[in-house]
C-alpha cells in the first residue's frame, strides 16, 4: 500500500472484507509518520516504510495499491509494472502537473489545450507499458461496482434498452486533501477529483448497452463549463465551505455526446452542504432508472446532542451529528468498494481481467482533459 489517507482507508476497509482469496498485508509506505504508523497498526501491515523502493524490491509483494496524490501516479505505475508487480491505482489515472518552464500557478497560466495534448501523450505511454506487460492494471473506480449501478447494467442488458440520456453527479463540501486546491498536485479541481466517478460510471454503463445490443458506441464530443465561485465569498460567507481552490475549479458541468446521438451530463461541485451527493440516472427508451448511492434513506437518525457519539461514524462530510441525518449503512458495499477489491483480488488470483481496467481509466482521463480544454476555449471538443 502506498499512502495512508482517506483513499487508503476506503481500500483497506474493503480489502479486509475480501473472501476466498488468501491475502497478506506486507508493507505500507507513506511520507508522514503521524499517518503511516497508526495506519500500519490499524490495518495490520507487517512493515511501515518511507521508501517506495521497498515495495518494488520485495519479491514477496505481488500487488501495489497506489493511494497517493495524483501527481506521482504515473511514475509509480510505471515503476511498479516494470518491477513485475500488479497495480491498483486510485483515480485519477494521471494528469498534467506542470514542468519547470510553466508559469505559476499552472492552472491559471498553462493553456488547457497544452495540458490536453500532454495528457494524451502520458496515457498513450502508459498504455504501451501496460500492454507490453503480463501484469494486471486495476483502476479503482468504485462506482462501477456499486450495487445500484451493477443492477442498472443488468436491467439494460436484459432488456437491450437504448440509453437516451444520462445524468451523473458527485458533489460535496470540498476535500479533506491539503493539496486539493492546487493543480500542480491534483491535476485539476472538483471535476477530476469527484466528477471522474459519475463520468466513469456513465462510460461503463454505455458500454454495457453496446455489448448487449452488439454495437460500438463511443464518446464523440465534449462540451464543458467550469469555474471558481467560492473566491467570490467573504470569509464569513465561506465559513461552512471547506473548498479553497487556488488555481482549480470548484464546479463543473460537462455534456457528452455519444456516437449514437445520446447524451450524458456530468456535474461535480465542491459547494454542496449536507453531505456527499452521488447518483446516476438513466433515461431509456423503455425504462427510467435512478441509482442513488449517497445520501440514501436506509436509516434516519435524530439527535439533540452528540453525547457518546465521538467514535460513532454516521456519514461523510457532515460537520455535526445533531438533528436529522441519514447515516451511511454498509457504505463500503453500497458505494462498491467491497466488490471492487473482491474483483481485483480474484482477477490476480484466477488470472482474468478486472471489470475496471486500463481502458476505463484511459477514456476517463482523455474525456476529463477534453472537458478542461472545452471549458477554457468555450467550444465543443471532438474526440
Residue 234 cell numbers, joined = 467573504
pLDDT in tens, 196-231: 999 999 999 999 999 999 999 999 999 999 999 999
Enter the pTM of the model. 0.96
Does residue 178 have a pLDDT over 90? no
Q: What is the mean pLDDT of residues 356-365?
A: 99
Residue 342 cell numbers, joined = 473482491
Neighbours of 219 (CB within 10 A): 20
Does residue 316 have a pLDDT over 90? no
Does residue 304 have a pLDDT over 90? yes
d(CA 18, CA 24) in angstroms, rounded, equals 11
Neighbours of 105 (CB within 10 A): 16
What domains lie within the chain, and their CATH numbers?
6-140 (3.40.50.720), 145-382 (3.30.360.10)
Q: Residue 31: its pLDDT value, please?
A: 95
d(CA 50, CA 350) in angstroms, rounded, equals 32
The rounded mean pLDDT for the chain is: 97
Q: What is the mean pLDDT of residues 101-126?
A: 98
Q: How many CA atoms lie within 13 A of 221 on its CB side?
A: 10
Helices 196-213/358-377 angle, 10° precision: 120
Q: Residue 297: its pLDDT value, please?
A: 87
pLDDT in tens, 53-103: 999 999 999 999 999 999 999 999 999 999 999 999 999 999 999 999 999
- Under 8 Å between Cβ of 140 and 359: no
d(CA 135, CA 126) in angstroms, rounded, equals 13
Amino acid at each position: 500500500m502506498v499512502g495512508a489517507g482517506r483513499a487508503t482507508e476506503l481500500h483497506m476497509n474493503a480489502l479486509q472484507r475480501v473472501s476466498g482469496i488468501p491475502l497478506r498485508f506486507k508493507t505500507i509506505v507513506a511520507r508522514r509518520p503521524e499517518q503511516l504508523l497508526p495506519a500500519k497498526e490499524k490495518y495490520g501491515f507487517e512493515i511501515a516504510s518511507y521508501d517506495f523502493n521497498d515495495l518494488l524490491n520485495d519479491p514477496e509483494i505481488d500487488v501495489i495499491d497506489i493511494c497517493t496524490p495524483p501527481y506521482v501516479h504515473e511514475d509509480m505505475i510505471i515503476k511498479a509494472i516494470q518491477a513485475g508487480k500488479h497495480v491498483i491505482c486510485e483515480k485519477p489515472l494521471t494528469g498534467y502537473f506542470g514542468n519547470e518552464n510553466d508559469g505559476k500557478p499552472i492552472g491559471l497560466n498553462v493553456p488547457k489545450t497544452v495540458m490536453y495534448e500532454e495528457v494524451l501523450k502520458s496515457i498513450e505511454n502508459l498504455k504501451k507499458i501496460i500492454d507490453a506487460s503480463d501484469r494486471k492494471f486495476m483502476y479503482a473506480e468504485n462506482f462501477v461496482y456499486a450495487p445500484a449501478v451493477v443492477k442498472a447494467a443488468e436491467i439494460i442488458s436484459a432488456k437491450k434498452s437504448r440509453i437516451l440520456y444520462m445524468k451523473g453527479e458527485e458533489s460535496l463540501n470540498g476535500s479533506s486533501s491539503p493539496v486539493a486546491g492546487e493543480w500542480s498536485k491534483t491535476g485539476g479541481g472538483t471535476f477530476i477529483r469527484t466528477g471522474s466517478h459519475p463520468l466513469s460510471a456513465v462510460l461503463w454503463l454505455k458500454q454495457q448497452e453496446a455489448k448487449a445490443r452488439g454495437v460500438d458506441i463511443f464518446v464523440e464530443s465534449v462540451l464543458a463549463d467550469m469555474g471558481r465561485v467560492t473566491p467570490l465569498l467573504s470569509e464569513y460567507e465561506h465559513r461552512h465551505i471547506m473548498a479553497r481552490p487556488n488555481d482549480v475549479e470548484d464546479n463543473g458541468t460537462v455534456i457528452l455526446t455519444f456516437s449514437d446521438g445520446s447524451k450524458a451530463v456530468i456535474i461535480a461541485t465542491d459547494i454542496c452542504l449536507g453531505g456527499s451527493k452521488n447518483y446516476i440516472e438513466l433515461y431509456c427508451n423503455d425504462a427510467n432508472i435512478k441509482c442513488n448511492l449517497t445520501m440514501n434513506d436506509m436509516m434516519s437518525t435524530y439527535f439533540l446532542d452528540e453525547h457518546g457519539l465521538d467514535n460513532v461514524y454516521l456519514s461523510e462530510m457532515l460537520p455535526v451529528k445533531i438533528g436529522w441525518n441519514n447515516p451511511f449503512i454498509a457504505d463500503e458495499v453500497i458505494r462498491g468498494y467491497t466488490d471492487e477489491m473482491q474483483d481485483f483480488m480474484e482477477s490476480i488470483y484466477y488470472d482474468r481481467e478486472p471489470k475496471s481496467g486500463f481502458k476505463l481509466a484511459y477514456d476517463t482521463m482523455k474525456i476529463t482533459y477534453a472537458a478542461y480544454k472545452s471549458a477554457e476555449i468555450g467550444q465543443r471538443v471532438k474526440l
